[in-house]
Amino acid sequence: MEKDPKDRKLDPANYMREHKIDEYHRMTCPQCKRVFTAGTGRAFLCKYKNLSTGEVRHGELLFCCYSCILQWAAPSEMSGPE
């Protein structure tokens, strides 16, 4: 079955490849702290703070669902081009 085009951009496959994890790897959502499997997550490019260094970074994070992405992202990150 063909995936919905809007889901392709949030597909966790690239994140899993980059971090060398499989689809059954247990993850914790950075927003709600729910435990989920990597294959069911949604990858999103965003700003986050590295807790060990305090450095603000840009990169992909894996979330459990769309609503957690929307709660996490700053309004300025969600706006389109002006």
Residue 23 clears pLDDT 90, i.e. is over it = yes
The pLDDT-based confidence of 8 (bands split at 50, 70, 90) is low
CA distances (Å), origin 79, targets 70, 73, 75: 12, 10, 6
Tell me the whole-structure pTM to 2 decimals: 0.75
Q: What is the mean pLDDT of residues 33-56?
A: 91
Model pLDDT, residue 3 = 52
Residue 5 clears pLDDT 80, i.e. is over it = no
Number of H-type helices and E-type strands within the chain: 4, 4
